[in-house]
Amino acid sequence: MDFKESLKLNHIAEIVEGRIIGDPNAVVAGLNEIHVVRNGDITFVDHPKYYKKVLESAASFVIINKEVEAPEGKSLILHDSPMDAFNMLIAHFRPFEPAADMISGSAEIGTGTIIQPGAFVGNNVKIGNNCVIHANVSIYDNSIIGDNVIIHSNTVIGGDAYYFQKRESGYVKFLSAGRVIIKNNVEIGASCSIDKGVTGDTIVGEGTKMDNQCQVGHDTVIGKHCLIGAYAAIAGVTIIEDEVVIWARVAINKDIVIGKKAVILATSAVDKTIEGNKVYMGSPVMEVRQYWKQLAALKQIPEIIKKINL
């Protein structure tokens, strides 16, 4: 997430009430999670397991809960609870804005677009030309919809990320400041949910078609011309490359890549990165020919047991 204007690190430290290690006058351009962080960004780390990864990342600024020497070219903010500090920044720079109307006055809606009764369009939403937004669709703040997009009833675009940190007192929610971007010529079925990124963007690529009751998690990127069947559940921070086919009731884990032109047959579960140009099935998935061989072998087990007992 970019700040509307660049800020000095001492201003950021004042907001979170942290102590600077490094240059207080360094300029901060935005804030991001580690998987999308860029030079000029501030991020956070609160677990020793990830100190090295974050301190060596592209981030120019890190909120951290251990006093260490700032790496060359970086500055740190020391804070007892870095995630809380990061949430403070999100709440400060992208606060929740209550809606005043069903279609916000700050929304931009293109020529020829039809918005059916009961649809909600939030603040700063952009919808392109010749779209159809059916009844009771909710498009949350800052979402961007391209041209010739169809969204069917009861779908929610831009809900918060399902992202919590467990503590002794219970679960603490990681606030969401990202967006959903839906490219041109996409169709999204009824009662789907596409969550916005935490600090980055959840993206649905051009020409992709999604059936009813699908879930897409935060910061996931779906490529061009994909087909996604009903009840598919796609976790956050996943990359689905172009022309992938995902059939009904497929579950896909987080932080993995589905290769270009992969086909995943119905009711499968994907728990790791898979190559493109192959057909997969099973839970966990395997290439379909291997799956059928294993299934054929399993069917022989009763006969084998019968022979042994003889």
Domains and CATH numbers, the chain: 2-93 (3.40.1390.10), 108-293 (2.160.10.10)
Give the position of tokens 């939403």. 125
CB count within 10 Å of CB 34 equals: 17
pLDDT score, position 202: 98
Distance, in Å, from the CA atom of 240 to the CA atom of 205, rounded to the nearest integer, reads 10
Phi and psi at 84, nearest 5°, equal -60, -40
Distance, in Å, from the CA atom of 192 to the CA atom of 101, rounded to the nearest integer, reads 23
Structure tokens at 98: 């209550």
User: Which one, of 41, 124, 133, 34, lies nearest residue 89 by Cα?
Assistant: 41
pLDDT tens by residue, 45-88: 999 999 999 999 999 999 999 999 999 999 999 999 999 999 99
pLDDT tens by residue, 289-310: 999 888 888 888 888 888 787 5
Q: Does the active-site annotation cover 218?
A: yes
Q: Exposed/middle/buried for 257, CB within 10 Å: 0-12, 13-18, 19+? A: middle
The catalytically annotated residue of 79, 134, 152, 218 is 218
User: Which one, of 137, 141, 131, 130, lies nearest residue 152 by Cα?
Assistant: 137
pLDDT score, position 300: 84
pLDDT score, position 310: 59
Phi and psi at 231, nearest 5°, equal 65, 10
pLDDT score, position 309: 74
> Which residues of the chain have a pLDDT value below 50?
none
